[in-house]
Structure 1
Amino acid sequence: MKRGWIVVAVVIFIFILAILSPKLLAKTNTPEFCASCHVMEEQYLTLMKGGLHNSLKCVDCHLPNNSKVSFYFWKAVDGSKDFIAFHTGSVPDQIKTSAHGKKTIQQNCIRCHEGMVSRITISDRKCWDCHKRISHKQAGLRETFKEEVFNEKI
């Protein structure tokens, strides 16, 4: 009898998980979800106000997009690390991208801008070496400067 209840509970749990998983996964792919961690507010604002890539989601640049397996594997790994760091209070003041994260961002830049970068012969350069304004930090400085100039004109 007891075993029957366990089987029923497991089946119900799997059924609920199957129904909620797509919605939960979709929600965790949104910039608003990424910004729900208070240390990511600046990055969220620069993405939304930055102009160049504001139609993208964080996962478009920060997670591998070459396969669903790789995407969800790194989503779980990176998400777990972020969750643990946030809830243990060990988030650094200056957020930096890991070596794997930099490689992923570079691959995603190339994926989206393949036509342009196919003409570049130097392969050891990073996109952000030349395009400094696309980083969250630089985009934030640019927007802050624009707002200060705009406010002075009013």
Structure 2
Amino acid sequence: MTKLPLIIGLAALLVVVGVGLYATEFTVYLGNDPTACNNCHVMDAAYEGWYHAGHQAWATCNDCHTPHALIPKYFVKAKSGMNHVFHFTLGNIPEPLRAKTESKEIIQANCIYCHQETVSRIADGQMDSGRYCFECHRSVAHGERGISILPYQDKGIYDPHSQSLQEK
């Protein structure tokens, strides 16, 4: 008799969680469909940039932004997903969106993984240890982005409104 409230509470919790998972189409986030990443309007520019850039034919969001091994991939997806839910729920969305150090390391490892043959030919396979691939190849995955905030970036090259680009 004393267990009845506990059983009813657990059943109610399961129903609430089940309805929540169904309503949010939770299973779409377990896959590799890039439109799942674009469910939040703050990702529109990143999605559009990827859709019109060179990697669209070869890689999805997870190919670059999560580890390739199964367990680390879903650990990163869960951790990132909870972070996104937290920030979106509270309305604390950073502008502009920037990758955290952990994300940058994952992206770098995936660049090298997919382009290992090319990387091995560059400087006898020695990467410039102080820079990420995407610092020079910024427009490859998400298209042109305008001026970079990196201090050593040549801002004239990447500014679509600069005089030097209009003259070319």
Q: Which runs of 5+ in 2 are unaligned?
A: 148-159, 161-168
Please give the per-residue CA displacement for 1:21-42, whole angstroms capped at 9, x wherever unaligned: xx844x1132111111010001
Deviation at 1:49, TM superposition (A): 1.1
Choose which of 85, 88, 91 in structure 1 pairs with 2:90. Answer: 88
Q: What's the CA shift string for 1:80-125, capped at 9, x where partnerless?
A: 0011111110001210000000000000111111111122323413
The residue aligned with 2:116 is 114
In structure 2, the CA distance between the partners of 1:9 and 1:87, relative to structure 1 (3 Å rule), is closer
- TM-score normalised per structure 2: 0.65
Instruction: Work out which of the residue numbers 62, 67, 71 in structure 1 matches 2:65.
Output: 62
CA distance in 2, matches of 1:35, 1:80: 16
- 1:41-82 deviations in whole A, cap 9, x for unaligned? 0111111111x11132211111111x2111111111011001
Residue 128 of structure 1 aligns with an amino acid whose one-letter code is F
Aligned amino acid, residue 35 of structure 2: E
Q: Which amino acid aligns with 1:118?
A: S
1:79 is aligned to: 81
Q: Among 110, 133, 140, which residue is 1:134 paired with?
A: 140
TM-score by length of 1: 0.71
Q: Which amino acid aligns with 1:31?
A: P
- Structure with more helix by fraction: 1
Q: Is the alpha carbon distance of 1:136 and 1:105 closer, same or farther for their aligned partners in structure 2, counting shifts above 3 Å?
A: same
Aligned to 2:44: 41
Structure 1 residues not aligned, in runs of 5+: 146-154
2 CA distance for matches of 1:54 and 1:2?
58
Deviation at 1:126, TM superposition (A): 1.5
Shift of residue 132, structure 1, vs aligned partner: 2.5
Runs of 4+ in structure 1 off by over 6 angstroms are none
Equivalent residue letter for 1:95: L
Q: 1:43 to 1:138 in 2, by over 3 A?
A: same
Query: Which SS does the other structure have where 1:118 is aligned?
Result: helix
Aligned Cα RMSD in Å?
Answer: 3.0
